[in-house]
Chains A and B, each alone.
Chain A
């Protein structure tokens, strides 16, 4: 195998391993869940992405054929990582509903999203300050 290609593959593997370690270290060190969501995304994008590019280059150099499986995994992970982060943060906010009283009033007929129900709920109650009533209940 070409020495430059071998060096490149080794460098990509080391970079991906370092990003994996940094992501999990951030998961340990950061203070609460909303900040902890930030760290593992680096492991998802740079960590798995680097390992997959290294694997593509390795099998391209060893077998002479481009394999498309790695691109599938990369595409799937890049599509699902934001959805997962959104769901986790939304469920976390849902479990912290009693902290909604600390928020100021929105000044509109509907309250805060996730804490006070949706705009459709506020419209159904057909009162001008339905959101405030929901939050104070």
Chain B
């Protein structure tokens, strides 16, 4: 039963990633694209966790944690660049 749920999860999260990619290309303002990339990072974290359940190993949690950190830092760095014209003053 978990295998079918995982299959549904993979398909749904992949469709969500494609929708986010559409927003990245179509977003009217740059901040729309930043928000879409941030949501893509969130979806990729969920995909990695589901893949860890699928492969029955806990080794992917470090990758998920790294994705969470880098997604946050890149979003904040871009927003700070837009706000202040510089990332580190």
Contact = CB atoms under 8 A, between A and B. Distances in A.
A62 interface: yes
A30 B9 CA distance: 24
A27 B8 contact: no
Determine the interface band of chain B, counting residues with CB < 8 A from chain A: 35 or more
Q: Is the interface of A mostly helix, strand, loop or mixed?
A: helix
Interface residues of A, number: 49
A28 B22 contact: yes
Given A13-B50, A21-B15, A67-B58, A83 B76 contact: yes
B8 to A, nearest CB: 6
A20 B43 contact: yes
Given A51-B50, A69-B65, A43 B72 contact: no
B82 A95 contact: yes
Contacts of A88: 31, 34-35, 38, 75, 79
B72 A84 contact: yes
Contact of A69 (B2, B4, B16, B61): B61
A43 B16 contact: yes
A87 B23 CA distance: 19
A80 B72 CA distance: 7
B62 A69 contact: yes
A36 interface: yes
Contacts of A52: 49
Contacts of B13: 17, 20-21
B53 A54 contact: yes
Given A54-B53, A95-B82, 9 more contacts: A20-B16, A23-B39, A24-B43, A40-B39, A48-B42, A69-B65, A73-B65, A88-B31, A95-B30
